[in-house]
């Protein structure tokens, strides 16, 4: 069927730059002894490290592995070529992290933020086309895809028949991933975006079903009992770890004074509306330690907005996990630097901010990017951010029911500060050029 190279994370530990690269072969037979990955002029053998998965009905199988490339140069483009028997079967590229934030006049360190991608409605590959058509200088260094990269529970008409068994659900879920991960055409396709640059993944409910792990009202026949939910959750978790990433622990890295923490608030979630957890306690503590030890501004990635009111049985949010939500807010209030929260989920885009410590000039800024491709009947109504941290100011609505992703451009006005500019990129249609809109002015982060 296909071979794939999808870059995962880039890291920098001290002076060591490394990159994690995912390689996969779906319904392909090959000899691992002849497999290699070329990265620029270097090449590494892929004889070992492969893992295998097959659906129970035998319709799909995948051989995959994650390879860590080390001793890379900072902010350098590496072209990746997956070879079998010397012949190229898949290509990709990845750019390593810079040693410092760029200053004025240099290309900013640029982060793409996206969530909520329903592949079946993107038949033209417009999301990938928009990515490929970004103008020179706007290309992201990394991408943060913070949930709902697939919709395993849509379209809901597929779930009207309550008698489909586990094997049907597993095969359908695998095919949903394969359709998105392999989508490519001459000028677009979701694969084109995935294979161009690093991807920092985290999950949200549609990696399973709406409102997972609680009852999904749109797929009631498959989530009504705990046994049914456990079955589907197990399938979704296994495929998430195969195609996307490990959900724990949170991934942290730095670019100059700017620190990042990419966390998952869905994979280990309990029941909403009470005192269950939205992540493992050790992972939440790691976030708290990260916030407490910052020596500059921070960027925290979560799967749902923190600037939010409570939800309901239809769709629980982070505030519905009372103890951990209160603990996370306490960690954020105690941080001595500005924190940017990156998230998605809600099917609208928003930039909101609050001044937390006037004496220090610190802010809490939340940036929402959703959706890249809207699921049918999934429109979200724009809401101003509630006053979670005292008075919260929201930028005027700008996404206006358009499919989109955002880019965040970071520069360094000084050695221990960062400046962030948010750009809105509507997903193009009918071959139109990719055009951006700057949201507000530069946001200074201390």
CA distance 22 to 264: 19
pLDDT at 28: 97
Domain ranges in the chain are 1-97, 98-445
Reported CATH class of domain 1-97: mainly beta
Pairing outcome for strands 109-114 and 142-145:
parallel
Give pLDDT, residue 431. 76
- How far is the C-alpha of 112 from the C-alpha of 306, rounded, in Å? 20
- Which pLDDT score is estimated for 171? 98
Query: How many other C-beta atoms are found inside a 10 Å radius of the C-beta of residue 361?
Result: 13
Residue 176 has a pLDDT of: 98
Q: What is the pLDDT of residue 240?
A: 98
Which of 379, 393, 178, 144 shows the shortest CA–CA distance to 251? Answer: 144
Question: 60 with 27: CB under 8 angstroms?
Answer: yes
Buried b (16+ CB within 10 A) or exposed e, 80-115: bbbbbeeeebbebbbbbbbebbbeeeeebbbbbbbb
At the topology level, CATH places domain 98-445 in Purple Acid Phosphatase; chain A, domain 2 (3.60.21)
Q: In the chain, which stretches have pLDDT less than 70?
A: none
How do residues 384-419 score in pLDDT, each as one tens digit?
Answer: 999 998 899 999 999 999 999 999 999 999 999 999
Tokens of 304: 């749902």
What is the distance between the alpha carbons of residues 294 and 144, in angstroms, rounded to a whole number? Answer: 21
Quote the pLDDT of residue 353: 97
In Å, how far are 16, 17, 22, 83, 438 from 69, measured between CA atoms?
10, 9, 11, 16, 35
Tens digits of per-residue pLDDT, 154-213? 999 999 999 999 999 999 999 999 999 999 998 899 999 999 999 999 999 999 999 999
CA distance 446 to 441: 16
Q: In the structure encoding, which two tokens stand for residue 131, read together?
A: 């990515």
How far, in Å, are 123, 185, 219, 249, 405 from residue 431 at the CA level?
A: 14, 13, 36, 41, 17
Res 186: pLDDT: 83
So what's the pLDDT on residue 36? 98
How far is it, in rounded angstroms, from Cα 12 to Cα 274?
A: 38
Strand pairing partners for 42?
A: 39
């Amino acid at each position: 069927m296909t071979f794939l190279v999808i870059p995962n994370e880039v890291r920098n530990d001290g002076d060591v730059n490394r990159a994690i690269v995912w390689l996969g072969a779906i319904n392909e037979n090959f000899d691992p002894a002849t497999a290699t990955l070329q990265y620029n002029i270097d090449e590494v053998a892929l004889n070992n490290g492969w893992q295998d998965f097959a659906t129970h009905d035998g319709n799909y199988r995948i051989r995959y592995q994650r390879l860590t490339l080390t001793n890379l140069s900072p902010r350098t483009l590496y072209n990746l070529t997956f070879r079998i028997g010397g012949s190229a079967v898949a290509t990709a590229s990845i750019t390593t992290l810079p040693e410092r934030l760029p200053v004025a006049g240099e290309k900013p360190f640029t982060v793409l933020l996206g969530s909520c991608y329903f592949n079946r409605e993107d038949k033209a590959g417009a999301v990938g086309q928009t990515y490929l058509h970004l103008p020179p200088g706007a290309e992201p260094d990394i991408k943060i895809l913070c949930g709902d990269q697939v919709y395993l529970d849509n379209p809901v008409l597929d779930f009207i028949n309550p008698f489909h068994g586990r094997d049907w659900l597993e095969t359908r879920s695998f095919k949903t991933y394969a359709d998105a991960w392999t989508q490519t055409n001459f000028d677009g396709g979701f694969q084109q975006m995935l294979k161009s640059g690093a991807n920092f993944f985290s999950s949200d409910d549609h990696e399973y079903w709406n409102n997972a792990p609680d009852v999904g009202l749109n797929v009631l026949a498959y989530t009504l009992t705990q046994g049914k939910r456990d079955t589907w959750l197990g399938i979704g978790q296994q495929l998430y770890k195969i195609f996307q990433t490990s959900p724990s622990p949170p991934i942290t890295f730095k670019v100059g004074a700017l620190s990042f923490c990419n966390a998952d608030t869905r994979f280990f979630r309990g029941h909403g509306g009470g005192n269950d957890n939205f992540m493992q306690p050790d992972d939440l503590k790691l976030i708290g330690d990260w916030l407490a030890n910052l020596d500059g501004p921070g960027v925290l990635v979560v799967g749902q907005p923190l600037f939010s009111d409570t939800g309901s049985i239809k769709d629980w949010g982070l505030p519905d996990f009372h103890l951990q939500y209160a603990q996370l807010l306490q960690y954020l209030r105690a941080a001595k630097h500005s924190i940017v929260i990156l998230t998605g989920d809600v099917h609208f885009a928003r930039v909101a901010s609050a001044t937390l410590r006037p004496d220090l000039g610190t802010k809490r800024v939340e940036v929402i990017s959703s959706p890249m491709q809207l699921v049918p009947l999934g429109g979200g109504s724009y809401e101003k951010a509630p006053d979670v941290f005292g008075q919260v100011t929201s930028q005027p609505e700008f996404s206006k029911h358009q499919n989109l992703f955002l880019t965040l451009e970071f520069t360094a006005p000084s050695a221990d500060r960062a400046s962030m500019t948010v750009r809105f990129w509507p997903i193009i249609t009918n071959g139109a050029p990719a055009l951006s809109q700057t949201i507000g002015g530069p946001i200074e982060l201390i």
